[in-house]
């Protein structure tokens, strides 16, 4: 399996980040990180609980997700039905965007070329300053119908 090295490295990066804040990297927390990094897109608490993080009780799961969001290890999104979805933060996996299926709600990660990314940055900066905002980041979501739902 090719992922083992990267997996180990992510755990190490997370451990370091947590230790800076004097937060323990316990086995339950490691389980959550592993579960999320195996996914191909943002996952809900329910998906994690009924799958690879099934051993972690819901309350602990939510506490961990929330802690990781606060710490900047995870990024929280709000999917099609208002249910929170979590994925590893950009600094752990690289900046990317999402395609969302309007029919079934599936979300997939999608990488962006450097040239497209700089166009996006330019547009985002221009829009943000138009409104007087100090721009920090941008989120592009492509809405469409996924291959499965599209007949």
Q: Which residues bind DNA (CB under 7 A)?
A: 23-24, 26-29, 44-46, 56-60, 62-66, 82-84
Which residue, 28 or 128, is less far from DNA as judged by CB? 28
With contacts defined by CB under 8 A, name the span among 11-19, 23-31, 59-67, 111-119 that binds its own copies.
111-119
Query: CB neighbours (10 Å) of residue 104?
Result: 12
Which residue, 26 or 102, is less far from its own copies as judged by CB? 102
Binder of residue 47, out of its own copies, DNA, none (CB less than 5 to 8 A by kind): none
Cα dihedral sign for 32, 66, 95, 97? positive
Which residue, 46 or 135, is less far from DNA as judged by CB? 46
Which residue, 24 or 151, is less far from DNA as judged by CB? 24
Binder of residue 150, out of its own copies, DNA, none (CB less than 5 to 8 A by kind): its own copies
Cβ contacts of residue 125 below 8 Å, gap of 6+?
Answer: 135
Smallest separation, CB 49 to its own copies (Å) = 17
- Rounded Cα–Cα distance for residues 71 and 43 (Å): 18
Q: Are 84 and 76 in contact (CB under 8 A)?
A: yes
Report which of 1, 73, 50 is spatially closest to residue 65, judged by C-alpha positions.
73
Distance of CA 60 to CAs 53, 101, 123, Å?
Answer: 11, 30, 40
Query: Which residues in this chain contact its own copies in the complex, by CB under 8 A?
Result: 78-80, 82-84, 97, 99, 101-102, 108, 110, 112, 116, 119-120, 123-124, 126-128, 130-147, 150
């Amino acid at each position: 399996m090719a992922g083992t090295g990267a997996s180990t490295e992510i755990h190490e990066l997370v451990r370091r980040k947590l230790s800076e804040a004097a937060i323990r990297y316990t086995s339950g927390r490691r389980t959550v990180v592993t579960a999320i990094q195996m996914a191909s897109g943002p996952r809900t608490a329910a998906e994690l609980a009924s799958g690879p993080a099934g051993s972690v009780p819901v309350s602990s799961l939510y506490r961990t997700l929330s802690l990781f969001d606060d710490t900047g290890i995870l990024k929280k999104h709000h999917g099609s039905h208002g249910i929170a979805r979590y994925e590893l933060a950009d600094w752990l996996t690289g900046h990317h965007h999402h395609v969302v299926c309007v029919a079934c709600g599936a979300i997939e990660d999608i990488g962006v070329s450097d040239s497209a990314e700089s166009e996006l940055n330019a547009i985002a900066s221009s829009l943000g300053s138009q409104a007087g905002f100090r721009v920090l980041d941008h989120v592009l979501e492509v809405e469409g119908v996924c291959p499965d739902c599209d007949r």
